[in-house]
Amino acid sequence: MPKNYSLHTQDNEIIDVTVHFTDLTDFGKIIVFVHGFKGFKDWGFGPYLAEYFSKQGFFVLTFNFSLNGIESGTQDFTEIDKFARNTISREVEELNFVIAHLKNGDFGEISNNPSIGLLGHSRGGGVSILAAAQNEDVNAVATWAAVSDFDRYSDRQKKQWHDIGYFEVKNSRTGQVMRMNESYLEDIEKHAKEKLGVLKAVANLKKPLFLAHGEQDLAVPAAECETIFNNADKDIAEKMIIPSTGHTFDIKHPFEGSNAKFDSLLNKTSEFFKIYLG
């Protein structure tokens, strides 16, 4: 039974939140889903995974970053100006902001001292690792197709970005050309190895970590999963490379149904959280 909420940031932007639970939900075991670049909470597998994990007994929270470009209450990229202003540092701050409101009972009453797991996809995987490394309220992290580094641009791209003040990316699904302001590049250039260093955060994580990646991922190569895993504590980290599938595990938007590979990923992720949020 999903319920919707809205949070207002300090600069009065809106974070849309949806929580999912059933009559069997354990309100002390919480999964927060963190969407990726050009993603949103209701993209493709979002509602499906939320329903799946809630039926497994978890309290599930999904949300939209305030500057992800999706107009509040919709699934449409109509706020392109906001998308352009987004940064990685802001996403990490907003994830911690959501967790704080969650613990405060602003999305429904939860147990005292709940166990919180983060589940991040793609860029959201990197953001989840960063937040988990600094937030003592997070108990475990799972990532799907996570990035190992936010500094993903060539010197030529960066020069052009600085010269004209923005970088353009195409949304292959909608055909929209979407800008990223120079502030995004400045953020990662300044902080990519320290505050926004995914590998540094992984090395200091000291929390259970589950890494899943599609073998044929063209957006974020599976080698990045290996890199993250190689920097993690092997006693509390595990990885799952899924053969013959890509960045979204053969799931599309609008959602057309699941498949055996994605369902196996859901099952493995659920097993991980049942162990480490239990």
Residue 210's pLDDT is what? 99
How far does Cα 266 stand from its chain's mean position? 15
CA distance 18 to 48: 13
Is 0.95 topped by the overall pTM? yes
Which residue is associated with the tokens 């994830």? 95
Residues 6+ positions from 56 with CB-CB distance below 8 Å: 270, 274
Low-confidence ranges of the chain (pLDDT < 50): none
Query: For residue 177, what is the enclosing H or E element?
Result: strand 177-181
Residue 43's pLDDT is what? 98
Domain boundary assignment for the chain? 3-148+193-276
pLDDT in tens, 75-109: 999 999 999 999 999 999 999 999 999 999 999 99
Residue 278's pLDDT is what? 85
Residue 1's pLDDT is what? 83
**Planar angle of CA 68, 133, 158, nearest 5 degrees:** 50
pLDDT in tens, 44-59: 999 999 999 999 999 9
DSSP 30-66: EEEEE--TT--TTSTTHHHHHHHHHHTT-EEEEE--T
Instruction: Name the nearest CA neighbour of 40 among 139, 122, 128.
Output: 122
Class of domain 3-148+193-276: alpha beta
Residue 9's pLDDT is what? 98
For 49, 79, 195, 252, the CA distances from 66, given in Å and listed in that order, are 21, 10, 21, 23
